Structure 1
């Protein structure tokens, strides 16, 4: 059902929703930017509607709201092991079309990849999603090329136009919670971007032969393997485990799951001193082909959703969309060499 509300009534609706949900949305963190006098837009719990940042792309994705950067899985002592408790309160998360598509990728990895991760599943089942429309493309986005610019997989849609707020609500529970709020019924359709300034072309003949190309060599010089591109990406799901023991009792502690990155040194280290993909070029090659080649072979669609955050965050100004667009020439190079 579609509705039109004024800002005052939207805040009343938000207050009603807060009684049931923790509400997460992109918001401005003052002074939290790259430099001390700059701000950062990222996801956080909001108290009022005015906190939501609709006009800027968040530097980090919504991912950290359902897949925490650091998560305690269980506690242990000499005698027992106890699973960590999870906040039972459901979450309502504001996100964009490309991010809803990325949610499908995270579900693939944690719920449909031959097992179900119980820790992710508990948080995922308690989450509902409010779509934020995109009237125009942000810098570095290439969602249209990746087919993630449109979606109908949302519980509610929201649009702000001056002092008016437009809602399209599909979820019965959300509908019931705000039923008492004054609003006008109105047909509401989501705004979706139909064109990006940045476009990518993934060659039809892309194969693992591209690994032989010399295109990867430049990233030995340019990439510093900081992992920022992975940590802001809404589809990267890698983690490592940490066993923490307590100072007052070394036989007690906790096991944590912590975000990790295929780019960061040490990620591929194994027992006996073995390690894979030591060169920066190899790490970039692995990430690229995972995003736009082998993932599709298994799931039928690419892992990358074209949000452009990797390009936004890279301190060395490496453009992932440019890497993708180099693949066609790389395939031709390999073919000619053969």
Structure 2
């Protein structure tokens, strides 16, 4: 059994697919806590109107960001000894995902975070499913040069550290080690982060908190694993949009600097240089995003 936590913002187009996909897993679900972060569309009304066979607790809140929304969701968790499945509202779970994730946690006591592959509508695997933890040099190159940087230097390189097998499940499914994954779909061991306490670092508003959690897992002696099962669907950008809104674009760049400050900073001079670089990237890419919007009409 597990608790499921979902944080939504203006997800009326995707919330039905997510909540209905949970129906197939309901015998493994203790409770679903659904936090609405101040949606201005019909997300809450649609969620309330669904006929579902599991317990759904809807909490309406102001927009406190991704990590803040999960902190609000923790108040609705009654059994903190169960694993927590964190799901984005733009995910559609594949069959058997939940039971395989639970089996993976049972197979390895040091497995702190488990996930399954995510794919987009075109069937291409989401590069955020398998990530490396950011390093300053390669991240700076990627931030400046973008996708012309060789794939092996990107933190979202899609295949990092997934060659080490952690376990084999009863049906033969492999569980492989990765450095990091996306907060869109994570099952978390309660001894690492109990569901009735904040899971993600609330210094992050949106973006970066999942990478921080994966780094914290490694620091605390846990591993991150991917269950090589049937992939689930991830409709990226449902909340933040693409190009990103100015607010989410700002949050993304703030997260870059927060992650650096917490984990990679070595000197004050370096910190000033990194901050300046992040700000320069923010303004340059903001102008580029605005141009794309104008061209789209």
User: What TM-score does the superposition give when structure 2 sets the normalisation length?
Assistant: 0.27
Structure of larger gyration radius: 1
User: What TM-score does the superposition give when structure 1 sets the normalisation length?
Assistant: 0.25
